[in-house]
């Protein structure tokens, strides 16, 4: 049984898990039946291939952009970003002519911003040295900025159908199980064996279909929770025959996760906020941000944000309100970002002052909050700015009861929000789903923090940050209600 998921205009198939991993009768050793295995794999791909947008024409530009985007990115999210990217930069000349600011802004939310800068550098190099034609030679592809061995193989095989084996984590998992690779797959001997097996598996003239088939099988069927009952290679799979599917691939040593406490502050003066452009080096190089940094031992977050502003800008500031805590995970880090609203200790000038120094930035600006949308910012700082805007719109200092209405969006769980219709909301925040009020109402003796955006719980920062994330996701084009609140439903509904 196959269900389908919709992403924009594209419908992506997903498979229903099958419990148990029972080997089929008559195991066929894979190395003795390679042609049969190849045909079974290709037949499954032909019947079940996802209609991904870059598969319409397999142009080198589209394949290249998709491969870079899908690094560290889930497929559904990658499709959404890919479609918007192609609207803004439809071909290689359009990308090469863009500014770095435009490219970073289009990339915002995907993270690892060096990828975006490398895309721009590679596009300009192709225009300059290859006459605007994306190179087909693997060595020339490998020489482009930001392209490593895997991406070279993916572009060469998928865009040009060259006989190059493509091995990502999904293909690696399939090979490790089918051929029972019994040592950590990232180790030298195991990696070499997997590479050799991948080359032997590659059928002549079918690199494009085969590599995509292998990676898609690993993503949708032979995943971390394998669906062996739906796998076309089950009768060849040695790990399934031996009953050790869940022991393959053999993992390596897990990377240690380092917790990091950091702070940032939104400094306001004369209805404008202060932002600075980061130095070119580092993961967020060239992006705009609110100043901040790490919490030092013995410091409170409030003390840290005041110190960071003094060190980076020379401004003497004080905290006026907390904006909440944003939690975010990276490959080897777990970040807790403490966000604060700030003001200048002395603000006697008729307009926002220039900072005495800039030690961690190349430029700075005082902007109205609506102007932040035009800047390329890290996702964490974008959420901080969203939270500040919400906090200013909320009637948090108002006294008296607030009416809440129960909203029941189609296809999503109901939630409570103040008695505002979707038509009364800002156009950019209007929900994409159809909303209808159920007629239920509650009264809170104290107002919610973010009443305009529907958060019915006034204490704590958890719900505020989740709300900010979903507001940002709505602008990013994902189909989820921008007012969703993850507060405890019973607590929120009763207003206790």
Q: Give the pLDDT mean for 327-339.
A: 86
pLDDT given at position 347: 85
Q: Lowest-confidence range among 184-198, 225-239, 385-399?
A: 385-399
pLDDT given at position 389: 54
Distance CA 36, CA 18 (A): 24
Does a cis peptide bond (omega within 30 degrees of 0) precede residue 29? no
- Close Cβ partners of 220 (under 8 Å, ≥ 6 residues apart): 13, 14, 15, 48
463 φ, ψ (degrees, to nearest 5): -70, -30
Q: Give the up-direction half-sphere exposure of residue 334: CA atoms within 13 A in the CB hemisphere.
A: 5
Nearest 5°: CA angle at 84, between 83 and 88?
A: 120
Helices (H), 350-421: 379-393
Distance CA 6, CA 26 (A): 38
Distance CA 231, CA 44 (A): 9
Q: Which residue has the tokens 């200092």?
A: 397
Look up residue 450 and give its two tokens. 């973010």
Helices (H), 324-482: 379-393, 462-475
**Structural Rg of the chain based on CA atoms:** 26
| Region label for 298, one of left (φ > 0), alpha (ψ between -120 and 50) or beta (otherwise) | left
Average pLDDT across the chain, whole number: 79
- Close Cβ partners of 311 (under 8 Å, ≥ 6 residues apart): 293, 359, 360
Does position 459 have pLDDT exceeding 50, yes or no? no
CA distances, 198 to each of 37, 164, 176, 465, 477 (Å): 13, 9, 10, 45, 37
Q: Give the pLDDT mean for 89-106.
A: 96
Q: Give the pLDDT mean for 76-90.
A: 95
- Close Cβ partners of 361 (under 8 Å, ≥ 6 residues apart): 276, 277, 278, 279, 291, 312
Q: Give the pLDDT mean for 75-93.
A: 95
pLDDT in tens, 27-51: 999 999 999 999 999 999 999 999 9
pLDDT given at position 22: 63
| Nearest Cα to Cα of residue 306 among 327, 325, 320 | 320
pLDDT given at position 38: 97
321 φ, ψ (degrees, to nearest 5): -170, 145
Look up residue 276 and give its two tokens. 């600075």
Burial of 349 (0-12, 13-18, 19+ CB in 10 A): exposed
pLDDT in tens, 141-172: 999 999 999 999 999 999 999 999 999 999 99
Looking at mean pLDDT, say which of 233-237, 415-419, 424-428 comes out highest: 233-237
Q: Give the pLDDT mean for 192-202.
A: 97
Does position 93 have pLDDT exceeding 70, yes or no? yes
- Close Cβ partners of 221 (under 8 Å, ≥ 6 residues apart): 15, 227, 230, 231
Out of 32, 36, 67, 196, pick the active-site residue: 67
Does position 486 have pLDDT exceeding 80, yes or no? no
Q: Give the pLDDT mean for 415-419.
A: 41
pLDDT given at position 387: 62
97 φ, ψ (degrees, to nearest 5): -85, -10
Q: Which residue has the tokens 């992506």?
A: 12
Q: How confident is the model at residue 348 (pLDDT cuts 50, 70, 90)?
A: confident
pLDDT given at position 282: 77
pLDDT given at position 182: 94
Distance CA 278, CA 361 (A): 4
Distance CA 340, CA 384 (A): 9
Q: Of 274 and 460, which is predicted with more confidence?
A: 274
Distance CA 198, CA 439 (A): 60
Distance CA 208, CA 204 (A): 10
Q: Of 362 and 450, which is predicted with more confidence?
A: 362
| Region label for 138, one of left (φ > 0), alpha (ψ between -120 and 50) or beta (otherwise) | alpha
Q: Lowest-confidence range among 224-228, 275-279, 372-376?
A: 372-376
Does position 369 have pLDDT exceeding 50, yes or no? yes
Q: How confident is the model at residue 25 (pLDDT cuts 50, 70, 90)?
A: confident
196 catalytic per annotation: no
pLDDT given at position 112: 86
Q: Which residue has the tokens 């030092």?
A: 296
CA distances, 145 to each of 70, 115, 294, 456 (Å): 17, 9, 31, 48
Percent of the chain with pLDDT over 90: 60
Q: How confident is the model at residue 260 (pLDDT cuts 50, 70, 90)?
A: very high
Look up residue 90 and give its two tokens. 């439809």
Distance CA 494, CA 404 (A): 10
Return the bridge partners of 337, or none: 262, 326
Helix crossing, 114-129 with 60-69: angle to 10°?
A: 160
Distance CA 471, CA 465 (A): 10
pLDDT given at position 367: 94
User: At 441, is the secondary structure helix, strand, or coil?
Assistant: strand
pLDDT given at position 388: 61
Does position 244 have pLDDT exceeding 80, yes or no? yes
Q: Of 197 and 479, which is predicted with more confidence?
A: 197
């Amino acid at each position: 049984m196959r269900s389908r998921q919709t992403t924009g205009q594209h419908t992506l198939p997903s498979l229903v898990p099958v419990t148990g991993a029972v080997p089929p009768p008559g195991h066929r050793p894979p190395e003795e039946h390679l042609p049969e295995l190849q045909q079974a794999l290709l037949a499954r791909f032909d019947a079940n291939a996802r209609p991904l947008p870059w598969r319409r024409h397999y142009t080198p530009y589209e394949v290249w952009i998709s491969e870079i985007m899908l690094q560290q990115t889930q497929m559904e999210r990658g499709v959404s970003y890919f479609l918007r990217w192609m609207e803004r930069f439809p071909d290689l000349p359009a990308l090469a002519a863009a500014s770095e600011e435009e490219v970073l802004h289009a990339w915002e939310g995907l993270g690892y911003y060096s990828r975006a800068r490398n895309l721009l550098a590679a596009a300009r190099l192709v225009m300059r040295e290859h006459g605007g034609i994306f190179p087909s030679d693997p060595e020339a592809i490998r020489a482009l900025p930001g392209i490593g061995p895997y991406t070279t193989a993916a572009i060469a095989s998928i865009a040009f159908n060259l006989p190059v084996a493509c091995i990502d984590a999904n293909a690696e998992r399939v090979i490790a199980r089918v051929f029972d690779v019994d040592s950590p797959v990232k180790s030298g001997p195991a990696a070499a064996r997997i590479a050799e097996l991948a080359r032997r598996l590659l059928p002549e003239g079918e690199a494009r279909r085969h590599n995509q088939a292998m990676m898609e099988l690993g993503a949708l069927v032979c995943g971390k929770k394998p669906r062996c009952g739906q796998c076309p290679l089950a009768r060849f799979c040695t790990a399934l025959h031996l009953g050790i599917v869940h022991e393959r691939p053999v993992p390596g040593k897990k990377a240690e996760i380092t917790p990091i406490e950091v702070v940032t502050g939104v400094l306001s003066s004369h209805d404008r906020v202060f932002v600075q452009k980061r130095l070119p080096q580092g993961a967020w190089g060239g992006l705009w941000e609110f100043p901040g940094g790490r919490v030092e031992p013995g410091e409170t977050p409030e003390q840290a944000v005041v110190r960071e502003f003094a060190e980076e800008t020379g401004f003497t500031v004080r905290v006026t309100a907390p904006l909440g805590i944003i939690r975010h995970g990276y490959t080897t880090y777990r970040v807790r970002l403490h966000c604060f609203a700030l003001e200048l200790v002395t603000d006697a000038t008729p307009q926002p002052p220039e900072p005495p120094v800039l030690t961690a930035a190349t430029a700075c600006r005082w902007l109205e909050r609506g102007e932040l949308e035009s800047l390329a910012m890290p996702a964490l700082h974008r959420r901080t700015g969203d939270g500040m805007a919400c906090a200013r719109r909320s009637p948090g200092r108002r006294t008296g009861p607030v009416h809440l209405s129960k909203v029941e969006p189609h296809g999503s769980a109901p939630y409570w929000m103040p008695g505002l219709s979707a038509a009364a909301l800002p156009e950019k925040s209007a929900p994409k789903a159809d909303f209808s009020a159920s007629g239920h109402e509650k009264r809170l003796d104290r107002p919610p923090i973010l009443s305009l955006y529907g958060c019915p719980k006034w204490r704590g920062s958890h719900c505020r940050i989740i709300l900010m994330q979903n507001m940002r996701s709505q602008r990013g084009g994902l189909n989820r209600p921008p007012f969703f609140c993850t507060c405890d439903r019973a607590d929120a509904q009763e207003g206790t």
